Every structure is written in C-alpha cells, then in structure tokens.
C-alpha cells in the first residue's frame, strides 16, 4: 500500500508557482495543520509581490507565523472555514490589507490593534465574538462590516469613528442597544439588525444608547427598498 499523501505537498507546489512572479497565493482546502509547516512559513518573505492570500477551508489551521508580516503587498486575505479562535496579531502588520475575511471560524476575541487601519472590508460572520476591540475606531476607511451570527452583546463607542462605513450586518447577535451616533454615520446606507433584542418585533425602531429611536426606512432591517444585492460579498 502506498504511503498516505502529504497534505502540505500542494501547499509547496502553490508556493513554488509564486516564484514566477504571480501575485496570488492559494492554499485553500489543502488540509493544512494547526500551524503552517516551517518550510512553508520560511519562504513567505521570499514572495513579496503576493497581494492575494487564500487560506480558506483548512479547518485545523489556527495560527499564522510571524513571516506573514513580511509580505508587504498583501491586500486581500481570506481565511474562511478555518479553526482560528482569535485574529493572529501578525495581521495587524499588513499595512496594505484592504479586505479581510475570517468567516466561519471560532473567533471568540480580538486583540486591540489586530486589524490594520487600512482595512475597508471586514468579514467576521459566523463566529463567537462577544464584542469588538476599541481599536476598531482606527479603521476610518472601513466601508463594509459583516458581524452576523455572533454573540455580540455590545459594540464599542469607537465604532462611530468609522465615518466611511456604508454597510453593517449585525443580525443574529445579542445586542440590547447600539452606540449613540451609529445610525447617523454620514455614509451609512444599510444596517441589518434582525434577531437582536434591541429591535422591536415590527422592525421599525431600535434602542440606541438607552433610548428608542425610530429608524428611517433606509436603515430598517429587512426593508424591501434595500435588497441583499447591495452586499455582493458571500464571505
């Protein structure tokens, strides 16, 4: 009987392809272990042109090496369906990162500064988060924030500093109120709040900083005037 295939062999092949000058690195669904193999991690600084990294569908993967911080061009990083329980601190070193997805992991907490200020699209759907770090307020260019299906019971007031925010999905959490000013952010056009204690059964009002606020139609959950197509991302 032949020996079992090495699950990291595909990762090595994918990495070798990058040396041809490509800017994409996909390790998706390769059965990676909890930590990237040392031979793979040691080579990451040698591929500085990579701007897209996909680590998705590696359910055992739960950490990232320091070498990831030496990939200066990374603008998009997907880690959908992995085993992360917290956002690796090294993510905060990716100064050009614009889109970040940790959808469907086991995230229970996020350290301060773990998300770089450059991020404008943050996807944290289907995790175990209770709140967000106060440093979220440093993401002044954040446009889309996906937080549905977590355990979030409160949001930091600093979220209101994200003045570029256009869309936020908060459905199916445990929010009893929203920070004052959130629904009045200048560019905010879509808020999904269904499935939270702060929303009335009719969906026409929400508790904001201890007071009930009648929401205009453009921010009411499940309104027909803002169909889901306004948010094309599936992650």
Q: What is the pLDDT of residues 186-197, one digit of tens each?
A: 999 999 999 999
What pLDDT is recorded for position 10?
59
Among residues 45, 48, 12, the alpha carbon closest in space to that of 30 is found at 12
In a domain, 3, yes or no: no
Average pLDDT of the residues in 4-28: 66
Percent of the chain with pLDDT over 70: 76
Q: What pLDDT band is residue 14 in, cutting at 50, 70 and 90?
A: low
In a domain, 1, yes or no: no
In a domain, 119, yes or no: yes
Q: What pLDDT band is residue 5 in, cutting at 50, 70 and 90?
A: low
Q: What is the CA radius of gyration of the chain?
A: 19
Convert the pLDDT of each residue in 66-94 to its tens digit. Answer: 999 999 999 999 999 999 999 999 999 99
Count the alpha carbons within 13 Å of 189 in the hemisphere toward its beta carbon: 11
- 8 Å CB contact between 91 and 116: yes
What pLDDT is recorded for position 11?
58
What pLDDT is recorded for position 201?
61
Q: Which domain holds residue 185?
A: 9-230
In a domain, 164, yes or no: yes
- 8 Å CB contact between 200 and 172: no
**The model's pTM:** 0.81
Res 202 pLDDT > 50: yes
In a domain, 55, yes or no: yes
**Rounded CA gap, 227 and 219, in Å?**
12
In a domain, 4, yes or no: no
- The CATH number given to whatever domain includes residue 173 is 3.80.10.10
What pLDDT is recorded for position 47?
87
In a domain, 13, yes or no: yes
Q: What is the DSSP string of 6-57?
A: PTTHHHHHHHHHHTTT-SEEE-TTS---SS--HHHHHHGGG-TT--EEE--S
Our CA angle for 101, 203, 124, nearest 5°, is 10
Q: Hey, which residues does 122 pair with through a beta bridge?
A: 100, 145
Q: How many domains is the chain partitioned into structurally?
A: 1
Percent of the chain with pLDDT over 90: 69
Chain center to CA of 198: 23
Res 209 pLDDT > 60: no
What pLDDT is recorded for position 46?
86
Greater confidence, 208 or 140? 140
Average pLDDT of the residues in 111-125: 97
Q: What pLDDT band is residue 22 in, cutting at 50, 70 and 90?
A: confident
In a domain, 235, yes or no: no
């Amino acid at each position: 009987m032949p020996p079992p295939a090495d699950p990291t062999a595909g990762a090595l092949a994918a990495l070798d392809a990058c040396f041809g000058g490509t800017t994409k690195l996909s390790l998706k669904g390769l059965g990676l272990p909890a930590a990237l193999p040392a031979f793979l991690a040691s080579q990451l600084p040698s591929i500085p042109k990579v701007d897209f990294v996909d680590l998705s569908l590696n359910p055992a993967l739960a950490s990232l090496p320091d070498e990831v911080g030496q990939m200066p061009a990374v603008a998009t990083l997907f880690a959908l369906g992995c085993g992360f329980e917290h956002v690796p601190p090294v993510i905060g070193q990716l100064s050009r990162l614009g889109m970040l997805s940790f959808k469907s992991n086991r995230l229970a907490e996020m350290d301060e500064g773990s998300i770089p200020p450059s991020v404008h699209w943050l996807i944290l759907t289907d995790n175990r988060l209770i709140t967000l770090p106060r440093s979220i307020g440093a993401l002044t260019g954040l446009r889309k924030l996906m937080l549905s299906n977590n355990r979030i019971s409160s949001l930091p007031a600093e979220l209101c500093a994200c003045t570029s925010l256009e869309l936020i999905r908060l459905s199916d959490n445990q929010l009893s109120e929203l920070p004052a000013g959130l629904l009045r952010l200048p560019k905010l056009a879509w808020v999904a709040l269904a499935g939270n204690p702060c929303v009335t059964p009719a969906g026409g009002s929400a508790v904001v900083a201890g007071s009930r606020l009648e929401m205009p139609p453009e921010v009411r959950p499940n309104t027909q005037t803002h169909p889901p197509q306004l948010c094309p991302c599936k992650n």
